[in-house]
Amino acid sequence: MMRRNRHSVYDLEYHLVAVTKYRHPVLNEEVTARLLEISRRLLEDDWPCKVIEINTSTDHVHILFEAPPQVQLSKLVNNYKTVTSRLLRKEFSEFLSKYYWKPYFWSQSYFVATVSERTHAAVLSYVNNQDRRTGE
């Protein structure tokens, strides 16, 4: 769907994948519920984005979202990982200390790709069908 702002007309969708440090399976039900809540609030309230779909496996999160052209993806991802890591480590410190003895949560790397009208349905299906049990 085409969107407008003051200086542009755009249709930009992205697929972001963030992976936990060392791929530890820390995204249990409780952590995942809080991560989804923080993710939506952060992307939609703090950044001018619209979350289309979000889902997790035990060691990574997939987010399909729209963003205007003014959003610098590297800054958005850095902010996303910093804020979610800080909040989750604070709220689940006892649980996460079993996996991380340093203040880690996310791996430094991430995946981001543009999603076109042609690939939207396939990516949406892929994000929706993440299998939490196998981590795939």
Both structure tokens of 119: 């690939």
Q: Is 126 a catalytic residue?
A: yes
H or E segment to which residue 124 belongs:
helix 120-128
For residue 30, which phi and psi values (nearest 5 degrees)? -70, -50
DSSP 35-95: HHHHHHHIIIIISS-EEEEEEE-SSEEEEEEE--TT--HHHHHHHHHHHHHHHHHHHTHHH
Considering the candidates 99, 100, 104, 126, report the single residue annotated as catalytic: 126
Write out the catalytic residue numbers: 126
